[in-house]
């Protein structure tokens, strides 16, 4: 079956090329063009994107690519942004008196075009320390690892020299209003050994270091500008915006001398300390809008989006996605908890959908509900509270940041699973069932852990060992070759050290847990009660710095949920109470998630 589809794909590519006067001949496995679709004779960009993705997927054994996953002649291949909404609003705005657009539509477009016009010269200063564009990681003059200016480099967001006190941080950045507004009572002085050079740097949650972003600031400005230009061109038809968008896109992803290397080996560095690279900067800042903006730009004709743009982007995206999925940093991010995990899966799903990688996408869809450490069930309590976020110094900000990620992910999963063979449909209101006997997590070949040894049992089966632990301990170490058992007490996060030469397996008991967890709807309701004044955040969360409390972001999340999830309330009164800008449309969010 796969072979027949593969041959049919070759015929489609060949016939399309011949229709435009090109030879599409390749001569078997020895011909490089048969292995690399980018080397096939060129077809118009609007068609080439679809066929290249299908071809690549078939060659790699990934056949679940649908028409929606590759776009159509008139509809972009977007994921979070509903392609049908984009197309219908574009037509409505262009219709004139025939079907007069509503006021919020024209107001939103005016705001979008003003934002685009303000960036046409790619000005300096769009973010602290960012020069004029088009932007590239090569603009950062810091000394780069491996002496390669195309490596992305940043420091951990909340990291400071270990000999810094709060007043030192504020004195170093006197013009940074956010830092100056922070309450120094929340600054936790380091207890680690500290060198005269201030190393190792240490984290101070809630106190972002303005100098830590480095290439992250460039990345953010690039992505924001690309989004604005792509949408301004799409809804207005003004080719100037698309041309500027391509200048931005090519500097970061295409031009050999300036394009970023497709990895994050040096992201989130900690001077003087050892740590796995952090993926939160691109995961959060690029999220799904990078792929959606590029999908919109791919709707240009072949003069706007060229064959070189297509082939270079396809290769870059493939290399990036491979590193994002298989590197140590990627595997670590997939096991995280909280907003780092949520945004990691948002960006990975967007990239997978864009590339036609249903294997990666379905794995996210099948695990994010309840299996992954950062799943909805693990993160959202039955009350709707996300304890990992509310416990932080900026508890409101991080709760809303995570809520935006989980809402985006849910909408994206719904759309992607229309095309992919996911086990279940995402339900934003779904709650977990109670777990009375949750079983055991097995960790093989353990050398040592941070669990406390209680007592040994000899000549027992694994089940007898586990039964002896019930109500007495939280884990057992078992050696099957000797029928030996060790009862252990583990508290907090359990750490493991594996050694393939060791024959002890550790079984950690999963705790029993009440049902009702994992509901995104309940998580929104939890935040709403504080946003509307029914409850006071400071009274229930005394670890939060008061200067960080702002609920305006909840309006955007509510609008996304209202538009994105079947059966969701409109939330419109609550939305307008939180952010009145959305009433008449002076914010282009309305063009992506329209009001009722």
Domain boundaries, the chain: 2-70, 335-435+516-596, 440-509
Superfamily of domain 440-509: Hepatocyte Growth Factor (3.50.4.10)
Same fold: 335-435+516-596 with 440-509: no
Euclidean distance between CA atoms 320 and 259, whole angstroms: 12
* Residue 583 near residue 103, CB atoms below 8 Å: no
Euclidean distance between CA atoms 576 and 13, whole angstroms: 50
Within 13 Å, how many C-alpha atoms sit on residue 142's CB side? 17
Burial 514-536 (b: 16+ CB within 10 A, else e): eebbbbbbbbbebbbebbeeeee
Q: Could you confirm whether domain 335-435+516-596 is CATH 2.70.170.10?
A: no
Ordered alpha helix ranges (H), 138-210: 166-172, 177-180
At residue 91, the pLDDT reads: 92
Q: 153 has which bridge partners?
A: 266
> What is the signed CA dihedral for 348, 353, 355, 360, rounded to 10 degrees?
60
Q: Which strand (E) or helix (H) includes residue 229?
A: helix 215-236
At residue 96, the pLDDT reads: 66
Euclidean distance between CA atoms 463 and 98, whole angstroms: 74
**The pair of three-digit structure tokens given for residue 69, joined into one six-digit string:** 């996953």
At residue 277, the pLDDT reads: 83
At residue 445, the pLDDT reads: 85
From the list 338, 344, 191, 201, the residue with the least C-alpha distance to 264 is: 344
Q: Which strand (E) or helix (H) includes residue 488?
A: strand 484-489
Contacts of residue 390, defined as CB under 8 A and 6 or more positions apart, other chains included, come to 398, 399, 541, 544
At residue 347, the pLDDT reads: 97
At residue 491, the pLDDT reads: 66
Residues 84, 90, 91: CA angle, nearest 5 degrees:
90
**The pair of three-digit structure tokens given for residue 240, joined into one six-digit string:** 């100037």
Q: Which strand (E) or helix (H) includes residue 440?
A: strand 440-443
Residue 134: asked if its preceding bond is cis (omega within 30°), the reply is yes
Q: Averaged in consecutive runs of 10 residues, what is the pLDDT profile of the chain (596 residues)?
A: 35 33 36 38 35 36 37 83 96 77 90 96 93 95 83 90 92 90 87 86 89 90 97 97 98 97 91 81 89 98 96 98 94 90 96 96 94 92 95 93 97 96 91 81 81 90 92 89 91 70 86 87 97 94 88 95 95 90 77 93
Contacts of residue 534, defined as CB under 8 A and 6 or more positions apart, other chains included, come to none
β-pairing verdict for 153-155 and 266-269 = parallel
Report the residue count for the chain: 596
Euclidean distance between CA atoms 432 and 370, whole angstroms: 8
At residue 54, the pLDDT reads: 35
Number of Cβ within 10 Å of residue 544's Cβ equals 23
At residue 73, the pLDDT reads: 64
């Amino acid at each position: 079956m796969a072979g027949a589809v593969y041959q049919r794909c070759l015929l489609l590519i060949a016939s399309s090329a011949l229709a435009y006067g090109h030879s599409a001949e390749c001569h078997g496995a020895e011909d490089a063009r048969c292995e690399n679709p980018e080397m096939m004779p060129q077809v118009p960009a609007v068609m080439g994107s679809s066929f290249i993705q299908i071809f690549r997927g078939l060659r790699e054994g990934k056949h679940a690519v649908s028409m929606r996953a590759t776009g159509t002649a008139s509809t972009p291949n977007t994921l979070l942004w509903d392609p049908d909404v984009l197309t219908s609003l574009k037509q409505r705005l262009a219709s004139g008196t025939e079907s007069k657009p509503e006021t919020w539509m024209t107001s939103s477009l005016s705001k979008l075009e003003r934002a685009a016009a303000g960036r046409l010269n790619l000005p300096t200063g769009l973010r602290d320390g960012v020069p004029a564009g088009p932007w590239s990681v090569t603009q950062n003059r810091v000394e780069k690892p491996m002496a390669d200016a195309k490596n992305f480099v940043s420091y951990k967001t909340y990291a400071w020299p270990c000999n810094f006190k709060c007043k030192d941080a504020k004195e170093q950045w006197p013009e940074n209003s956010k830092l100056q507004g922070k309450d120094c009572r929340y600054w936790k002085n380091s207890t680690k050994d500290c060198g005269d050079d201030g190393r190792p740097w240490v984290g101070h949650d809630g106190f972002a270091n303005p100098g830590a972003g480095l290439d992250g600031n460039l990345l953010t400005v690039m992505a924001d500008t690309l989004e604005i230009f792509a949408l301004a061109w799409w809804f207005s038809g003004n080719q100037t915006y698309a041309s500027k968008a391509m200048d931005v896109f090519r500097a970061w992803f295409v031009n050999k001398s300036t394009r970023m290397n497709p990895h994050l080996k040096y992201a989130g560095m900690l001077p003087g300390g050892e740590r796995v690279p952090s993926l939160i900067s691109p995961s959060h800042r690029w999220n799904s809008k990078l792929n959606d903006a590029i999908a919109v730009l791919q709707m240009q004709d072949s003069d706007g989006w060229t064959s070189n743009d297509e082939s270079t982007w396809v290769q870059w995206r493939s290399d990036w996605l491979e590193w994002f999925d298989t590197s140590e940093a990627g595997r670590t991010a997939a096991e995280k908890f909280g907003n780092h995990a949520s945004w990691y899966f948002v960006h990975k799903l967007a990239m997978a959908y864009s590339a036609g990688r249903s294997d990666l996408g379905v794995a996210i869809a099948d695990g994010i509900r309840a299996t992954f450490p950062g799943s909805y069930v693990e993160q959202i309590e039955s009350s709707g509270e996300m304890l990992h976020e509310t416990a932080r110094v900026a508890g409101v900000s991080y709760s809303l940041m995570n809520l935006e990620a989980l809402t985006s992910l849910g909408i994206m999963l719904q759309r992607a699973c229309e095309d992919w063979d996911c086990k279940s449909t995402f339900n934003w209101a779904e709650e977990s069932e109670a777990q009375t006997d949750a079983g055991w997590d097995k960790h093989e070949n353990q050398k040592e852990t941070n669990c406390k040894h209680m007592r040994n049992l000899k000549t027992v089966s694994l089940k007898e060992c586990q039964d002896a632990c019930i109500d007495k301990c939280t884990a057992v170490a078992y050696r099957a070759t000797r029928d030996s058992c060790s009862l252990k007490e583990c508290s907090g996060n359990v750490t493991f050290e594996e050694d393939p030469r060791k024959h002890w397996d550790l079984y950690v008991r999963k705790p029993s847990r009440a049902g009702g967890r994992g509901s995104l709807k309940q998580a929104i309701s939890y935040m709403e009660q504080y946003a509307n004044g029914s409850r006071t955040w400071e009274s229930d969360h005394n670890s939060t710095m008061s200067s960080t409390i702002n609920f305006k972001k909840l309006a955007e999340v509510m609008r996304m949920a209202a538009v994105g999830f079947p059966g969701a309330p409109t939330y419109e009164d609550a939305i307008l109470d939180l952010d009145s800008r959305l009433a008449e449309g002076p914010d282009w969010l309305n063009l992506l998630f329209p009001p009722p």
